[in-house]
Amino acid sequence: MKTEIINKTLTYEIRKTVLWPHIKHNDYTISVDNDPNTFHLGTFLNNKVISIGTFVKENNSKFTDTRQYRLRAMATHKEYRKRGAGKMLFLKGLDILKSKKITLLWCDARLIAIPFYESVNMKSVKGIYHIKDIGPHKTMYIALNK
């Protein structure tokens, strides 16, 4: 397996099948996909993208750090879970963020994904909230460069 920066279009298939199967049109973009500070990572196995994540320069008012990034649309293809692809992607993202002197990474984590995020040392903010059409989430975060 290898993880590298990818074009946003390589995220669409996993966004469609894993994250947003409820979307009835063929637009799997997010508004920040083209932002110059956004980067997309993909983990490949046999030249196939099996895990994705989008890293966005976005501050969350729940945190005082001013150099924040948000992890969005992270997912691993169902057939390839529990093989380390997501962890490899996450750690590569942390390396890139550290090189940018980012001090905090946060995300809106689906409840089912919380054990994964805890396994990579993210912590939870108290409270559960619902995201329309997707379900319950918690805010999670990890401090960097401290």
Of how many residues is the chain composed?
Answer: 146
Q: What per-residue confidence (pLDDT) applies to 134?
A: 76
- Whether the model clears a pTM of 0.85, i.e. scores above it, the answer is yes
Q: Could you give the count of Cα atoms lying within 13 Å of 30 in the half-sphere of its Cβ?
A: 22
Q: What per-residue confidence (pLDDT) applies to 90?
A: 97
Residues in the chain with pLDDT < 70? 146
Q: What per-residue confidence (pLDDT) applies to 136?
A: 86
Q: What is the DSSP letter of 51?
A: E
CATH number of the domain bearing residue 121: 3.40.630.30
Q: What per-residue confidence (pLDDT) applies to 28?
A: 75
- Give residue-wise pLDDT tens across range 66-84: 999 999 999 999 998 889 9
Q: What per-residue confidence (pLDDT) applies to 139?
A: 96
The domain of 47 spans 2-143
Query: Considering its fold, how many domains does the chain have in total?
Result: 1
AA identity, residue 92 = K
